Amino acid sequence: TASLIKRFQSQDKRRLLWIDSLKVADSVYYYPYKYRIQMNNTVSECSVIFRLAEQILIRAEARLNLGDVAGTRDDLNRIRKRAGLKDISTGDKDSLSVMIFKECRLEFFAEMGHRWMDLKRTNKADSILAKIKGTHWQTSDQLFPIPQSQIERAPNMHSSQNPGY
């Protein structure tokens, strides 16, 4: 999306190497270009399930929650350095939390629902998705349906379906 493109700094290698665009008439359409295997080609890339960058950003968040601001900055700078960005040298707990969330968004776009899981885990899904989806967004959209067979198997648990289903 255009809002994702705007989040990258101009010298960010992730923007330069992982996103391509196509111009049609007067419109520019961006698409992920992280994985370059085309149909009917020999596979030369591995499936990406869990990356080192994810481990580093998970640790940055854990360090921040433990009050290790210097360790958090070290982890963020490790990610930023690989992206060709300058180190950060300042930041309190709130600003570092915002930076971690931003780096996750930039690092993991188009990867296995990372953004969705981050939005849910940090309780930001409502505030962010309501702006994008407007009246089509409801808080219950975050929930999956409980299979009816599971509800029927546990009658003593007073199981009921999640709202919205």
Output the tens digit of pLDDT for each of the chain's 165 residues.
Answer: 888 999 999 999 999 999 999 999 999 999 999 877 666 667 666 666 788 999 999 999 999 999 999 999 999 999 999 999 999 998 899 999 999 999 999 999 998 889 999 999 999 999 999 999 999 999 999 988 989 888 888 877 777 888 888
- Model pLDDT, residue 52: 93
Output DSSP code: residue 30.
Answer: E
Question: Could you tell me the pTM of the whole model?
Answer: 0.81
What confidence score (pLDDT) does residue 41 get?
66
Alpha helices in 66-110 (DSSP H): 69-82, 93-107
Q: What is the DSSP letter of 52?
A: H
